A and B are shown apart, each in its own frame.
Chain A
Amino acid sequence: MMRILIIEDDLEAAEAMARGLSEAGYDCSHAADGAAGLAEAQKRGFDVLIVDRMMPKMNGVEVVSTLRREGDATPVLFLSALGEVADRVDGLQAGADDYLVKPYAFPELIARVEALSRRRETGAVATTLKVGELEMNLIARTVHRGASEIDLQPREFQLLEFMMRHAGQSVTRTMLLEKVWEYHFDPQTNVIDVHISRLRSKIDKGFDRQMLQTVRGAGYRLDP
């Protein structure tokens, strides 16, 4: 079972988060301020740290940069009520792996924690990605499903690459917009859905099994 440490001074928020994550199958611990959180995190053994930015005693940036200085590479999801570009950059520069602005939708949190907790398994630099019948050559930039080659536009290729790297996980629209397009805002219309459905028509059309799934209320998932 994946172990998660929640370092958050808002007890109600922390409790709600822990309940939701436990529901999703994670084992959660909680620390109520930065110093306690750092001490807990230093014991190691956690798969993901969820760190609030603004806390008493020691703020989130300090906690993360201290851990990173000590050589601790545990994935960190930074939580903050501040959504400005500069704040996000601060968090990421301190060594956080991802950044989520409060208030967040729960599926968004789960999807990001999931992405972070599995990230370490794909540590090695791969030249090909393989998910079920789908095979992507990152050097030649070609994609095959079974025997047939699939012709993708550059953005579709990036989108599929991201989905393949997170195969079996739910990824949200916001995650895709952030990681594939590098925009940090919520588009008001369903722009991402359209891109996904184009990609889906290319990789799933003519096959019996649909690999690119829509996850209700969350986003999408690429199944092997």
Chain B
Amino acid sequence: MKDIAIKAEHIGKYYRLGQINSGMFYTDAKNWLRHKLGKEDMTLKIGEKSRDRTGFWAIDDISFEIEQGDRVGIIGKNGAGKSTLLKLISQVATLTKGKIGINGNIASLLEVGTGFHPEMTGRENVYLNGAILGMKRAEINQKMDEIIAFSEINEHIDTPVKRYSSGMYVRLAFAVAANLDSDILIADEVLAVGDASFQKRALGKMNELSTGKGRTVLFVSHQMNAVKALCHSGIVLEHGKIIMQDSIDQCIAGYQKHLTDKKTIMDLSHYDNEFFELLGFGLVDQNGKDLVQPLENSQKAFVRIELNMKKIHHSFVIGYSICNSDGEVIYWSYVTDDYKEEKQLKGGRNILMGEIPNHFLNEGEYSIFLSASLHYIQWIVNPEEDAPCLKLHIQGGLSDSPFWTLKRSGVCAPVLKWSVNDPDPRTRIGN
């Protein structure tokens, strides 16, 4: 058995909602006095019994063990408790209950560049930031060249960082963090900075650090690719509870399944609003019948939206947004895209059909979210928040060619036109 690096036992973190106190001493003192006298708290809303009920468990009684050398990705939606968990382990926030045991020293990067001061030079900031993260002066001296090289700051290192571009700033900040020596590394979205090429380099550096030195890594990111590349096991959190702990691939798959499963159970009346009543939202085939899934890529699919329009607004648009299983948006489409005068929505019942072309998307699982808004005015149904969702599973039927029967990489899998030795210049490639 390998040694345990981190062990959490029934840990919990409770946050009180709203105001902790009124922020004014007089009111607080008065309430405290009333409380002592057994009277009702004046700041409570009518009907509330006591203050204690307004709170929630950001981390709700979870236990886990992480072995030394494990690289663990923590996944979950916003507000699932990922960052809180990292804060608890790195001792920035206090536990409400349970206990955590840690072997080895921790470097926690809840953010890069903490403590950077704009007035100080790059070099001074490296010393300060390094020291805040727990490095000794001698260590920093030893690593200074490496830090400067990685950040590509070079001769600007002795310039105050307020004169840096934001890219330089972030590179320098990351370079310090990446050169930390520690047994356990905790990183929260630190890769979500810098441009794409830097992110790639940063990910490479993180990988090198964790594999080379066998250190334990706890990593939070919304970029599933980054998590997949860096970690080999995962923890899925939801509402402060662990709903899954497995290999990273299993976790990501499970998490995505969990997300879509929850969303396909729809209560359409939930989406009623002042503009329309949603009567139906589904996928159908060319004949208007319910789609048989998985769908072959040679077949067309239609998104069918049935509405009862209650109020006509000239800026009203409705359509859908489609995402792949990594949560990346493939495209948005609105009924108004295919604009014609006669295609106006009328009051009362409307049936909209949006075509998803065949030979267009790649094999895989897709989520289709309803999207409706007053153009540039307000969301009615925001596809990125609480929108009804359909699942589309495409498998097989990629092409008629014997050379293309298996899935290729790529977001799309279109069957495109080619010409071979065609004398007609209009079809020549490049024109």
Partners in one complex: no
Name B residues whose Cβ lies closer than 8 Å to a Cβ of A: none
Name A residues whose Cβ lies closer than 8 Å to a Cβ of B: none
